[in-house]
Each structure stands twice: as structure tokens, then as C-alpha cells.
Amino acid sequence: MISETGEQLGVVPIEAAIQRAQDVGLDLMEVAPGGKPPVCKIVDYGKLKYEKKKKQQLSKKKQHVVKVKEIRLRPRIDEHDLMTKVNRGREFLLSGAKLKITLMFRGRELARIDLGKIVMDRVLEELADVADVEKVNPLEGRRMSIILNAK
């Protein structure tokens, strides 16, 4: 048995251990049930649960969740519109998020995939100073996408 101050009391009968815990006004908790003999400790169980909950909340608070932001483009996008979207993507990357660039084809645009690749290469060229390519998804149905990480 371990006392409330952390001092080892040795092997104590269970009735005496329960009585001692009640005298102090705390709880008797089994720490190592597999030991021979089992190890018990006198603790404030409510306080122990509270501290465990606080520690869990603190570790959750420190977790960093990676956000994935997406920019959607079309193969026939105008120069100014493209630069606006690229600048927005640059802001996302600098704020710490990942960036997914999706190029969508409609109708007959699917016949000119080379135009889409030119747009994608242009975007990668513009963002090369702040981003690295993480994953390239070639044409999937009517979409082509790239995922970028901040450098």
C-alpha cells in the first residue's frame, strides 16, 4: 500500500487499508492489480479524474490540424482571373494550409487536355517559390488535380 504522501507502507490487510483511507477522507485505488500482492494507493479520486481531463484537453489544444484549401480552375481561364486565384492560393499556403488545385473540364474541353496542362504548369510555376508538389492526380473523369505543401 502507498499512502497519500507517496510513502510505501508495505503489505497491509484490505480492511486496514480501507479504514486508513476513510480516516484521511480519501479513496483507496488499486494501482497495480496484477502484482503479488496487488498495489493500492490512497488518492483523491475526484481530483485525479479532474487532472486527467485537464491534461487531455491541453493535449487536444496543442494538436495541429492541417487544413486543405481548394482552388478550382477551368482550362480557358483568363489571365487576370488566374492570377487572382493564384494569389489567393499563395495566401492559403503562407497561412499553413495545404492547397488543392482542381482543373475541371466541361463538354468539348475534354478533347483539349493539353490546354489544361498548360494552365496547371503555369500555376505551379507561379507558386514554385512558396510550395512543393505533394501529389499529382492525372485526369480522373473530368477533373485533374494537384496537392501542394508550403515550403
- What are the phi and psi torsion angles at 27 (to 5°)? -110, 150
Complete domains list, the chain, with CATH = 14-60 (3.10.20.80), 68-150 (3.30.110.10)
Identify residue 73 by its one-letter amino acid code.
L
Beta bridge partners, 39, equal 32
Residues 48 and 41 sit within 8 Å (Cβ to Cβ): no
Identify residue 4 by its one-letter amino acid code.
E
How many angstroms separate the Cα of 77 from the Cα of each of 117, 142, 143?
Answer: 12, 16, 15
pLDDT at position 101: 94
Each residue's pLDDT tens digit, 20-77:
999 989 999 888 888 888 899 999 999 999 999 999 998 888 777 788 999 999 999 9
Each residue's pLDDT tens digit, 73-89:
999 999 999 999 999 99
**Residue 21 C-beta-side C-alpha neighbours within 13 Å:** 20
Question: What's this model's pTM, rounded to 2 decimal places?
Answer: 0.59
